[in-house]
């Protein structure tokens, strides 16, 4: 009996301990559940929502680029692309293998995608293919259950409406390279493009805009069920250019596939109305992606379609430089407008003989006659009297030999050589023969087509320091608010008039070198100057016999053809420079192009609204005036 009592007490204690333990465990469990469901409820709700709701960055629409009248030159169009999210794809190689059976994928695509998957964070989408057809989109959507991590993204793609006609001004956008990745999350978005050349590159940040966001609900597999909220990004700013699209397209069609460049500017404002470099390229190819064959065709083309010759091409200006030589000599007083110099076809300096383009010579000519007939002997002597330092200083005052800060990548400086420059660069003294060669715009003298257009504008507008302008109201202010006059280049008006008379005679005079290219419409006449630049040395035998004509030479050995001009003669508004690489004579190849362009510019001006006047003060820049003596 005693034993049974002891056993009962032991059992009761154990039962009580067990019950206590269970109660403790139960209370702990209840407490934990309370903590999780009540105290931490908001935290776990957020975590659950984060698994259920994805926040995605949206690329903003890229800003448009328009011409001076607001007509679109670059805008955006809808683009369907296939993207893959590595963390949702599982085995990425298997997913890509399945996808390649639906849309074509090359080895290059595979390597790129796998490389990006290693470099980027796992949740960042990677573009597989862009610019998909509706059929491609449908096939991918039907097979989505077998393609984990693959989805169709609808975005916008850059569209250059006029392609080759505006390529060198617009530039282009292309995919972001690894070196260009920065803290901006937009750069990691699939299909995001940035400016790589031209206006697209210079104004990339303004055109880029700010990103938006999209909240989407997804299931356990990461598939989108529905969009919950969307906040569109802020579109990029619109960039308005000074280009007249009608004139730009006219010039582009006129040049065709010729290796040439043309710049047209307003002589009073400096507005660049047309800038064409030919042959060109389709900037849309860079946006969509070039294959190797397309890239090779561009870089191996002997006419350099990727180079903007209007600002990057550096050429001897030839006889188009004679106006600068004439003004330097007039200002120095070493020659007067009436001074006559006899041209027999050549002149000598020591044992060296310098030839005129006209074998029999021009006889005795004064300055206006020398410009009209482009007499080389006259300008050999004029340059010798003026001296290279004064000639170069005048060239710089007219806009040559220094960057004009147009704002496009690749603008070259050209060269206005001096005695100091040669000693510093070549450690050699300047020679008088080099001054005489510079007198006809050859030797060390180099200019760009843009500089030649500005030189012509400064002569035509009466000697004001007009600078080229490509973007309208870059500072956001109305340029017409400021009426301050442009600064003068400091050349006497009477000297400029002598040069302008000579340029008028070049086209409209009886002996003018460009008489055949004159404009016959009354009130639209043009003035100008031809130029023909040798690109090889002519032997004495060739000069005497004339065995080889220019058009019989290999293309690379033919002379460059140049022309600068302005119109109308009585009230100049437009200036043009034309350079035709290896085109032959300036009068035969370049002058007719300039005639057609200036005539079209004037006709368009009559049929379209006049642009607002430009602030002359805002468009002026300080320019050093160097009138140093030259004793060579």
| Alpha carbon distances (Å) from 286 to 163, 188, 281, 305, 539 | 11, 19, 10, 14, 45
Same-domain status, 217 and 279: no
Residue 158 lies in a domain: yes
pLDDT per position as a tens digit, 8-54 = 665 676 677 777 777 777 777 777 777 666 666 665 555 455 556 66
Q: What percent of the chain has pLDDT over 70?
A: 81
Residue 501 lies in a domain: yes
Same-domain status, 274 and 322: yes
Residue 631 lies in a domain: no
Residue 7 lies in a domain: no
295 membership: H or E segment, kind and range: helix 292-299
CA dist., res. 436 & res. 384, Å (int): 6
182 catalytic? Reply is no
Same-domain status, 262 and 395: yes
Number of domains in the chain: 2
Same-domain status, 379 and 358: yes
Q: Which of 252, 261, 319, 334 is catalytic?
A: 319
Same-domain status, 385 and 256: yes
Same-domain status, 173 and 322: no
Residue 498 contacts residue 372 (beta carbons within 8 Å): no
* 272: CATH: 3.40.710.10
pLDDT per position as a tens digit, 529-588 = 999 988 766 655 555 555 556 666 776 778 899 999 999 999 999 999 999 999 888 999
Same-domain status, 252 and 228: no
Residue 452 CB burial class (10 angstroms; 0-12, 13-18, ≥19) = buried
Residue 33 lies in a domain: no
Whether 222 has a pLDDT exceeding 70, the answer reads no
Residue 44 lies in a domain: no
Last residue of a domain, one of 208, 223, 240: 240
Average pLDDT over residues 396-423: 95
* 125: CATH: 3.90.1310.10
| Alpha carbon distances (Å) from 226 to 52, 64, 214 | 11, 31, 11
Same-domain status, 255 and 233: no
Residue 109 lies in a domain: yes
Cβ atoms < 10 Å from Cβ of 582: 22
Same-domain status, 223 and 267: no
Residue 21 lies in a domain: no
What is the token pair recorded at 407? 């704002």
pLDDT per position as a tens digit, 391-409 = 999 999 999 999 999 989 9
Same-domain status, 166 and 280: no
Domain that holds residue 126: 56-240
pLDDT at position 474 is 52
Same-domain status, 176 and 314: no
């Amino acid at each position: 009996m005693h034993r049974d009592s002891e056993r009962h007490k032991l059992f009761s204690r154990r039962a009580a301990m067990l019950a206590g333990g269970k109660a403790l465990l139960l209370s702990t469990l209840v407490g934990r559940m309370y903590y999780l469901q009540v105290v931490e409820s908001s935290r776990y709700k957020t975590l659950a929502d984060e698994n259920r709701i994805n926040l995605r960055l949206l690329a903003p629409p890229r800003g448009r680029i328009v011409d001076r009248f607001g007509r679109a030159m670059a805008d955006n169009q809808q683009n369907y692309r296939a993207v893959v999210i590595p963390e949702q794809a599982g085995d990425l190689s298997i997913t890509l293998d399945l996808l390649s059976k639906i849309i074509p994928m090359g080895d290059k695509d595979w390597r790129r995608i796998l490389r990006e998957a290693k470099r980027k964070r796992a949740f960042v989408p990677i573009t597989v293919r862009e610019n998909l057809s509706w059929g491609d989109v449908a096939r991918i959507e039907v097979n989505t259950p077998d393609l984990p991590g693959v989805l169709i993204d609808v975005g916008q793609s850059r569209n250059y409406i006029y392609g080759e006609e505006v390529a060198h001004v617009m530039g282009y956008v292309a995919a972001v390279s690894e070196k260009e990745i920065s803290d901006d999350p937009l750069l990691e978005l699939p299909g995001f493009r940035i400016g790589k050349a031209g206006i697209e590159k210079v104004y990339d940040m303004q055109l880029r805009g700010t990103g938006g966001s999209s909240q989407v609900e997804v299931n356990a597999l990461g598939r989108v069920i529905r969009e919950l909220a969307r906040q569109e990004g802020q579109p990029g700013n619109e960039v308005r250019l000074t280009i007249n699209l009608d004139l730009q397209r006219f010039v582009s069609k006129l040049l065709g596939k010729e290796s040439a460049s043309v710049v047209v500017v307003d002589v009073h404002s400096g507005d660049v109305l047309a800038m064409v470099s030919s042959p060109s390229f389709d900037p849309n190819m860079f946006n969509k992606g070039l294959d190797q064959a397309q890239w090779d065709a561009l870089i191996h083309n002997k006419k350099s379609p990727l180079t903007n010759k209007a600002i990057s091409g550096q050429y001897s200006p030839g006889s188009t430089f004679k106006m600068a030589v004439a003004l330097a000599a007039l200002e120095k007083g070493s020659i007067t407008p009436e001074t006559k110099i006899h041209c027999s076809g050549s002149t000598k300096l020591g044992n060296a003989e310098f030839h005129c383009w006209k074998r029999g010579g021009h006889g005795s000519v004064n300055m206006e006659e020398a410009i009209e007939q482009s007499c080389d002997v006259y300008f050999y002597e004029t340059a010798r009297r003026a001296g290279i330092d004064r000639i170069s200083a005048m060239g710089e005052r007219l806009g040559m030999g220094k960057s004009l800060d147009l704002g496009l990548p690749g603008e070259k400086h050209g060269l206005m050589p001096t005695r100091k420059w040669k000693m510093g660069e070549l450690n050699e003294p300047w020679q008088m023969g080099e001054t005489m060669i510079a007198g006809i715009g050859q030797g060390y003298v180099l200019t760009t087509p843009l500089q030649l257009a500005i030189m012509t504008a400064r002569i035509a507008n009466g000697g004001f320091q007009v600078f080229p302008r490509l973007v309208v109201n870059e500072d956001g202010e109305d340029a017409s608010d400021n009426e301050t006059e442009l600064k003068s280049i400091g050349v006497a008006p009477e000297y400029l008039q002598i040069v302008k008379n000579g340029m008028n005679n070049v086209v409209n005079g009886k002996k003018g070198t460009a008489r055949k290219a004159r404009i016959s419409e009354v009130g639209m006449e043009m003035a100008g100057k031809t130029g023909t630049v040798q690109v090889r040395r002519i032997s004495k035998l060739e000069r005497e016999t004339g065995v080889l004509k220019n058009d019989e030479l290999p293309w690379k050995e033919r002379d460059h053809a140049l022309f600068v001009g302005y119109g109308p003669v009585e009230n100049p508004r437009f200036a043009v420079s034309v350079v035709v690489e290896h085109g032959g004579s300036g009068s035969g190849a370049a002058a007719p192009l300039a005639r057609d362009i200036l005539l079209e510019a004037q006709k368009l001006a009559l049929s379209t609204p006049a642009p607002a006047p430009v602030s002359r003060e805002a468009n002026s820049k300080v320019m050093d005036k160097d009138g140093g003596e030259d004793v060579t």
